[in-house]
Chains A and B, each alone.
Chain A
Amino acid sequence: MRRWLRVPGTSISEKARETFSLLAENLLRDRGVGMELTAVVGRRWSAVAGPQGDLPLASAERLPLADGWGLVLYGVSRLKKTEREALLKKVEGILSVGPA
């Protein structure tokens, strides 16, 4: 069935989306931290990519990124500061690939 909208309101390559989702899956499996990539438009943070299945039941922390993107992290206190910084670099690297 044809899908008209793959990524609401944003443009990101399918490869970048898959790479991000894989990173998010691993983070959830290994550290119990949920990570969703969102498109930020005004007050609305719309889901774009993330792990399959449930998010951990934990505080949601929002992190605005460049170019209208945002990360929502669930249970990020489980990560050390250095781990968090490394994670952000990886995400920025994925997004820097540019739009589809």
Chain B
Amino acid sequence: MLMAVATDVRSWIANRIRQDEITRYMDGDRCFIDDGAIEGALERGRNPDAGRVREILAKSLAIETLTLDEASCLLHVEDPDLQEEMKAAAGEVKRRVYDNRIVTFAPLYMANLCVNNCVYCGFRHENSAERRRVLTMEEIAEETRILAGTIGHKRLIVVYGEHPASDYDYIADSIRTIYGVKVPTKRGYGAIRRVNVNAAPMEIAHLKVLHDVGIGTFQVFQETYHRSTYERLHPAGTIKGDYLWRLYSMHRALEAGVDDVGIGALFGLHDWRYEVLGLLRHAWELEEKFGIGPHTISFPRIEPAANTPYADSPEAVVDDDSFARLVTVLRLAVPYTGMILTARERGDLRHKILPLGCTQVDASSRIGIGAYADVEEKQEGERQQFILGDTRSLDEVVRQLAEDGYITSFCTAGYRCGRTGRKIMDLLRSGREGHFCKLNAVLTFREWLDDFAGEATRAAGEKIIVRELDEISRRFPEVYPSLLDAYEKVAQGARDIYF
């Protein structure tokens, strides 16, 4: 029996990669990540002239994607005053595109079985310290009831290891289960309205299945764009060892009709400047081939994981100062994209990094398999991919955001009313999407304050609502009566009303 299972897994692995779904996007045998081009840009960007840097900042402020050479100049700015100018410009870019909204979400880890053996990952196949588990549909429903009904999240990123037990059909079933949960709350009901997926690369036919169940964004992180580093850290013979299969994940997703895609790199594996240019090159490739850039960019740093020595001392450590610099340059280089700052980072650091242009944060995060249903709140390395740096509750995070002048948005309207792909990119560039989201942020924040907020958070949130309504009445008088009408309905218990 065990031998049969092992054979099945081997057979599944052997049939996972479809070469034709890699080569069809390539220019002969050349992929879009050209080591020489990136290294050349990095070399040319050294010792940038201040005047040139300011010209580049003006381009970012016009919400235009930067070239590799331009981003490289910014990556090499060492003058502290100029760095401060860059940070201010990054914050301004974010305000122009996304205003003062921050979107919140929670990760939900479904399974930690994995056939791969990545040296930095707690889920790697050979890590005998990891306690393996795949959530049942009833367990997923229970996790969702807590996330949507107790904490108040509307948006999830669901995460799966690469294994036949959590293949595309399991992923599709789990998403249907999540969307099926509706929980009564104080004034209305709680439900997850957008399920984003972080999973292994898939073939187009399987991505179409996920598309059909209504996923939000499909995320695959390249981990490192530096090919020889990639090949060293992801053993040959594993699925993940195939650099190109992973690199073209987003091409396949877009071809499957999933028009919101998320890219990312795991910082700490290779030089951070190289990875920033790799992400930028990836964004350009998608814009050029599909007319659609990444919906989000993620920039996690490697964190300690149980029984994973590499993660304790990665070879290209990114310190906090460099982290702030890379976030700043990403914001300036791809001005329209959402930027995700996760609870891997410490709370105090997230507070400092957020104003550099981030748009999404997670909160109340638990990344153990089945951890939301646990009474015990402490982290357990043996069932997590890594250890979190910020374990604050959503209520605490929302309160701090409100005190800092941000409105927390639980808006998930875009993908349900045609503001996706190229359309949303254009609307983001012009600032119009920010206007829609400003209205929707007020409505969804009202919902959340009424259903979930603690007393102190509610008090801080009410001040934000008053300020936002006042601003909307002045900036958008033509739509203000409709907003007030919708706002009253929400205050009376109506839910999921949006512009």
Contact = CB atoms under 8 A, between A and B. Distances in A.
B435 A41 contact: no
Contact of B416 (A2, A36, A44, A58): A44
Interface stretch (B93-101, B132-140, B419-427): B419-427
A4 B290 contact: yes
B310 interface: no
B189 interface: no
A57 B499 contact: yes
B212 to A, nearest CB: 5
B289 A1 contact: yes
B291 interface: yes
Interface stretch (B156-164, B248-256, B301-309, B377-385): B248-256
Interface string B410-452: 0001011111111110110010100110010000000000000
A57 B420 contact: no
A15 to B, nearest CB: 19
Contacts of A43: 179, 214, 415-416
Contact of B214 (A38, A41, A53, A57): A41
Given A58-B482, A59-B499, A47 B211 contact: no
Nearest to B208: A9
Interface string A35-53: 0111101111111001001
Contacts of B254: 4-5, 8
By DSSP majority rule, is chain A's interface helix, strand, loop, or mixed? loop
B169 to A, nearest CB: 15
Contacts of B416: 43-45, 62
Contacts, number: 106
A54 interface: yes
Contacts of B211: 9, 41-42, 44
A3 interface: yes
Interface residues of A, number: 30
Given A41-B257, A43-B416, A58 B499 contact: yes
A55 interface: yes
By DSSP majority rule, is chain B's interface helix, strand, loop, or mixed? helix
B430 A45 contact: no
B417 A5 contact: no
B12 interface: no
A4 B255 contact: yes
B257 A9 contact: yes
A54 to B, nearest CB: 4
A8 B419 contact: no
Interface string A1-42: 111110011100000000000000000000000001111011
B498 A8 contact: no
Interface in B465-499: 476, 478-479, 482, 486, 498-499
Contact of B288 (A1, A8, A39, A44): A1
Contact of A39 (B256, B257, B291): B257
Nearest to B175: A42
B163 to A, nearest CB: 25
A60 interface: yes
Contact of B419 (A4, A9, A47): A47
Nearest to B290: A5
Nearest to A60: B417
A2 B289 contact: yes
Nearest to B485: A59
B400 to A, nearest CB: 29
B17 interface: no
Contacts of B251: 4
Contacts of B292: 5, 8
Nearest to B438: A57
A58 B435 CA distance: 10
B114 to A, nearest CB: 28
**A8, A36, A38: which has the most chain B beta carbons within 10 Å?**
A8
A43 to B, nearest CB: 3
B213 interface: yes
B499 A60 contact: yes
A47 B289 contact: no
A5 B25 CA distance: 12
Contact of A47 (B25, B212, B422, B486): B422
A41 B257 CA distance: 9
Given A3-B290, A53-B430, A58-B479, A8 B259 contact: yes
Contacts of A42: 211-214
A50 B432 CA distance: 15
Given A41-B211, A42-B214, A57 B435 contact: yes
CB-based closest 9 A-B pairs: A9-B257, A43-B214, A42-B214, A47-B423, A38-B418, A36-B418, A54-B432, A72-B418, A60-B417
Interface of A: 1-5, 8-10, 36-39, 41-47, 50, 53-55, 57-60, 62, 70, 72
13 contacts: A4-B255, A4-B290, A8-B420, A10-B257, A44-B211, A44-B215, A44-B416, A47-B418, A55-B436, A57-B432, A57-B436, A57-B476, A70-B418
Interface of B: 25, 179, 211-215, 251, 254-257, 259, 288-292, 413, 415-424, 426-427, 430, 432, 435-436, 439, 476, 478-479, 482, 486, 498-499
Given A36-B418, A46-B259, 14 more contacts: A3-B289, A3-B291, A5-B254, A8-B420, A9-B256, A10-B257, A36-B417, A44-B214, A44-B415, A44-B416, A45-B417, A47-B422, A57-B435, A57-B476
